[in-house]
Amino acid sequence: MEQIADRKKKGLKEDYLLLVEHNPVYTIGRDGSKKDLLVSEQFLQEHEIRCYNVNRGGKITFHGPGQLVGYPILDLNNHEKDILIYLKNIEGTIIKLLDEYGIEGTRKDKNPGVWIGNNKICAIGIGINRWVTRHGFALNVNTDLKYFNNINPCGFINKGVTSIYQETGKKLVLERVMEDYLQIFSEVFSIKQIKRKGVIR
């Protein structure tokens, strides 16, 4: 992601969307700290979970199996050059995707992401440098939500998390979700062709 973003800042024309599935990892954004990590380093080592500080907005979140993580790498000079509009568009792509599966996702003022009631189903944390985007979203599809018990997700102590599986009782094939999302993303951002990477395990 970082390498592609750096190449785009140097003039790479193509837009990229990396759709990946991570091994268990906690990431802490620019606004976060380890105070929202509720387990010890020993616990992380014993359960083979990594923890990194990263240069996106937001606080702590989890990435892992059964979760669709998307990293759009776009030059906003070629789209709408507005960070808030970009963020809303990313939220919009997830809301459209959830609608395909019969789930009504919503926004919350001042709390980026997509929500089902008081539970977050998709965390969004972006980074933008010289109008080139990096980082993105993490949508809980079939994610084991127990991992979120080890953190204050996005710094919240009074809000929960959910997943497509928890909302519908249906376990989806992640590769199919990727294909559905790619179509929606292409439409929302008016992109005809996107360079892609497959599932990273």
Q: Which residue has the tokens 């997509």?
A: 114
Contact 70, 140 (CB under 8 A): no
Beta strand extents in the chain (DSSP E only): 16-20, 25-28, 50-53, 60-63, 67-73, 106-108, 111-116, 119-129, 132-140, 160-161, 195-197
Q: Which of 51, 60, 154, 174 is catalytic?
A: 154
CA–CA dist 201, 198 (Å, integer):
10
Specify whether 122 is catalytic.
no
In total, the chain counts a number of residues equal to 201
Label the pairing between strands 111-116 and 119-129: antiparallel
Q: Calculate the alpha carbon distances from 83 to 76, 112, 150, 166, 178 in Å.
A: 9, 12, 31, 31, 24
Instruction: Please tell me the chain's helix, strand, coil percentages from 3-state DSSP, rounded to the nearest 5.
Output: 35, 30, 35
Instruction: Copy the structure tokens of residue 129.
Output: 């440098």
Taking every pair of C-alpha atoms in the chain, what is the biggest distance, in angstroms? 47
Residues involved in catalysis: 154
